[in-house]
Amino acid sequence: MTKKVRVRFAPSPTGGLHLGGVRTVLFNYLFAKKHNGDFIVRIEDTDQARYVAGAEEYIFDCLEWCGLHPNESVAHGGPYAPYRQSERKDSYKKYAEQLIKDGHAYYAFDTTEELEAMREKLKAKGSNSLQYDHRIRMEMNNSLRLLPEETQQLLDTNTPYVIRIKINPNESVSFTDMIRGDINFDTNYVDDKVLLKADGMPTYHLAVVVDDYLMKISHAFRGEEWLPSAPVHILLWKYLFGLHEMPQWAHLPLILKPDGNGKLSKRDGDRLGFPVYAMDWKDPKTSEITKGFKELGFLPEAFINLLAVLGWNDGSEQEIFTMEELIDKFSIERVHKGGAKFDFEKAKWFNHEWIKKLAVDSYMMTVKQLFVQKGVKNIDEGKLTKVIELVKDRCTLLTDFWEQGHFFFTPPKTFDEASIQPKWDEGKKEFFNVLMSKCADVQIWDAVAIENVFKTLATEKKLKIGELQMIFRIILVGTKMGPQVFAIAETIGKQETTDRINNALHHFYF
RNA sequence: GCCGCGUUGGUCAAGGGGUUAAGACGCCUCCCUUUCACGGAGGAAUCACGGGUUCGAAUCCCGUACGUGGUACCA
C-alpha cells in the first residue's frame, strides 16, 4: 500500500508573503488535492531573532484569499499539533543527542569569534572552502577533538554549545528529484551544518527532517534554493529514520527579476512598480506598507492562475485554468527546471481574462468598496452590477472600474470642450434642447429607445449623427471615453440624462 | 573561489532524433468604432557557443560561455 499523500508548506513568519511562496503553496496544494491528500501548513519559527509580529496571521489571510485551504495548521488544528516549531522545541534535542550517540553528530563549543578567526585563517591560506567541515573540524573546539572528560566538563559548566552533523568525506549522496531526476553530491563539499543552536532551538535542517517524519509527510516540495543543503537532509533521514521513510523531493525553480538577474525580491517590485506580495504587508516596525496583488486589484482566481503557469503547463495551449482544472491537470513532473522571469504585463492580462470570465457577482462587492472609498454614497448594487457588465471588457485591474465607471455615479465637472468647440453651432445647441424634451416622452427608457429618438431627431434636423454622438458622450461623461453612449444614458436614467444635458448646455463657454 | 542547478523569440513557453520550430503576453500594421477599450486580420522576433554521435541534432554525449542558487548558531 502506498503512503497517504501529505504535503506541507513551511513558511517562517518573517514578513510579507512573496509570490514565489504562494506558488510553492499552490504546487503543494494542487498535488495534495489531486491525490486526495492532506495539505499542512507548519510554521517554522526557529529563529527568534527574525520573528515578526503579525506575520503568521497574515500568511493565513493570504492563503484564505487565494482559496488555498490547509487541512492542518496552527490555525486549523490537526492530529499532529503543535504546528509551530517553537512549540515543538523539546522534541528536537533528543534526536540531536541520538545522532551524537550514534557517532553522526558532535558538540561544538566554538564561539562566534573563533569561527570568524577560522574563516580568516582559511581565507589567508587561499582555501577554496571556508566551511566547517571534515578538513578543519579536528582543529576546532568540539567533542571530536576534545577528550570525553573535557567535553563533559564543558557541558557540566553550562558552556554554550551547538550540535553539528558529522559529514563523512568521500561519500556520495544521491536522490531522485521529481522534477530534476537523479542528483548527486560529493560529501567532500558538504559542511558540518549546525543542527541544534546554542539557544536550544533546532536549525531548519534538523527541524525539517524531524517534523516531516513526525507529521508523516510523503512529498516535500520547496524552492530550488534548498537544493545545496539536500544532502544534509538526506543524511539526517538515513541516520534518524531510514531512507525508506523519506518523503519524495521536488525542488521548484525560482521566480526571477524581470530585468537584470537574480531572485525576485520585494525591492524589485518597489523599483519596477508591481507587487511581489500576495496582500498588503505593513511592517510593524517601520509601519511601511508594501502593496499586494489583492489591493492592487487582482482577483484571487487570476493570481492563482498566473502563478500556476509560471513554470508549469499541461502541454496543451490552454492558459486560463480554474482551480478545479488545475487540480485535475497538475503534475509535478511537468514543472520546469529553469527559473522564470516574472512578467507583470502578462500577469495583468490574466487578470483581465478573469474579470471577463467571472460572474460579476463574485467581485461586485469589491468594486463597491472601491467606489465607497472614493466617496460615492448610496450605491445601488443593481446599477453597479449593470455598470460593471458594461465596462468590464476594458478593465485590467479591479481598480480600473473607478476610472471606467465613476461617471455613472458622478456627473462630469469639466468637459472636453476642445473636442466640441469645432463642431458646435446653433443647430447642435437646438438639437440638444429639443432632445431633452423628446427624452421626457420616452416611455421605456432603454438604449434602443434612446438611440431611436436621438437618430430620428438628428435626421430631421439634417445633422451628422457621428458628431452628435461624440458631443452627447462628452455631455454625459465629460471626456471621449466609455461604452456605447446610449447604454450610458440608459444606465444613468432619464432624469439624470436630461439633467446632464441641461447642465452641460449652461457650462459651455462658446 | 568552490559546489549544485539551469539555458527554445524581449517575456512565459510547446516540442525530447526527420516539424514551414506551436501558442500566449508585449510590440508594430490594418479593420471595426466619429470616444477609449474589447474584438478581428496580419507582421517582425527564437533553439547560447564549439566539438562529437548519426544518413539526419533544438532534441543524445562532451566541453565552453552565460545565468542562477548555496557556501550563517537565516529560512
Considering chain A, what percentage of its residues have pLDDT values greater than 90?
93
Q: Which of A269, A311, A473, A298 is nearest to A398 (CA)?
A: A298
- Report if CB A203 to strand B is under 7 Å: yes
Is A171 within 7 A of strand B by CB distance?
A: no
CATH number attached to the domain at A88-208: 3.90.800.10
Of the candidates A21, A48, A9, the one whose C-alpha atom is nearest the C-alpha of residue A279 is A21
Per-residue 3-state assignment (H helix, E strand, C coil) for A184-236: EEEHHHCCCCEEECCCCCECHHHHHHHHHHHCCCCEEEEEHHHHHHHHHHHHH
Mean pLDDT of chain A: 95
Confidence of residue A259 (pLDDT cuts 50, 70, 90): confident
Query: Does residue A466 reach within 7 angstroms of strand B, measured from its CB?
Result: yes
- At residue A457 the predicted structure's pLDDT band, cuts being 50, 70 and 90, is very high
Give the span between the Cα atoms of A210 and A45, in whole angstroms: 15
* A341 part of the active site: no
Taking residues A353-374, report their average pLDDT.
96
User: Does residue A396 reach within 7 angstroms of strand B, measured from its CB?
Assistant: no
Q: Assign 3-class secondary structure to A129-162.
A: CCCCCCCCHHHCCECCCCCHHHHHHHHHCCCCCE
Calculate the angstrom distance between C1' of B63 and CA of A223: 29
- pLDDT mean over A382-400: 96
CB proximity A115–strand B (7 Å threshold): yes
pLDDT of the residue at A478: 94
Among A490, A502, A484, CA closest to A437: A502
Cβ-proximal residues to A288 (8 Å cutoff; 6+ apart), any chain: A282
Task: List the single protein residue with the shortest CA to C1' distance from B1.
Answer: A128
Query: Are A122 and A136 within 8 A, CB to CB?
Result: yes
Which residue is closest to B38 in terms of CA–C1' distance?
A393
Residue A361 has pLDDT above 50, yes or no: yes
The residue among A427, A404, A435 whose CA lies nearest residue A500 is A435
Residue A21, all three cell numbers: 511562496
Cβ–Cβ < 8 Å for A42, A63: no
CA distance A485 to A451: 9
Residues 278-317 of chain A in contact with strand B via CB under 7 angstroms: 309-311, 313, 315, 317
**Cα gap A143→A169, rounded to integer Å:** 18
Which nucleotides of strand B lie under 7 Å from a protein CB?
Answer: 1-8, 10-15, 22-26, 34-38, 67-75
Task: Give the residue ranges of DSSP H helices in A309-360.
Answer: 323-329, 344-357
Q: Would strands A181-186 and A72-73 be described as parallel, antiparallel, or unpaired?
A: unpaired
pLDDT digits (tens, 9 = 90+) for A189-242: 999 999 999 999 999 999 999 999 999 999 999 999 999 999 999 999 999 999
CA-to-CA dists, residue A365 to A361, A362, A375, A406, angstroms: 8, 8, 15, 15
Fold held by A411-507 = Arc Repressor Mutant, subunit A (1.10.10)
What is the CA A477 to C1' B18 distance in angstroms?
61
Cβ-contact A304, A347 below 8 angstroms: no
Instruction: Enter the ipTM.
Output: 0.95
Strand B lies under 7 A from the Cβ of residue A341: yes
Query: Could you tell me the pLDDT band of residue A164, with boundaries at 50, 70 and 90?
Result: very high
Q: In the complex, which nucleotide's C1' lies nearest to the CA atom of residue A393?
A: B38
Contact indicator for A66, A302 with CB cutoff of 8 Å: no
Q: What is the mean pLDDT of residues A1-21?
A: 91
Residue A229 approaches strand B within 7 Å at CB: yes
- Which window residues (127-166, chain A) lie with Cβ within 7 Å of strand B? 128-132, 160, 162
Burial of A137 (0-12, 13-18, 19+ CB in 10 A): buried
Helix (H, G, I), strand (E, B) or coil at A172: strand
Please name which of A2, A7, A66, A64 lies closest in space to residue A32, comparing C-alpha atoms: A7
Mean pLDDT of A25-54: 96
Annotated active-site residue in A238, A266, A428, A455: A266
CA of A318 to C1' of B23 (A): 9
A394 touches strand B (CB under 7 A): yes
A342 CA – B47 C1', rounded, Å: 22
Nucleotide nearest to A484 (CA to C1'): B35
pLDDT at res. A1: 47
Q: Is the CB of A174 under 7 A from strand B?
A: no
Q: State whether the beta carbon of A502 lies below 7 angstroms from any atom of strand B.
A: no
Q: Give the total residue count for chain A.
A: 510
For chain A, the domains span 88-208, 411-507
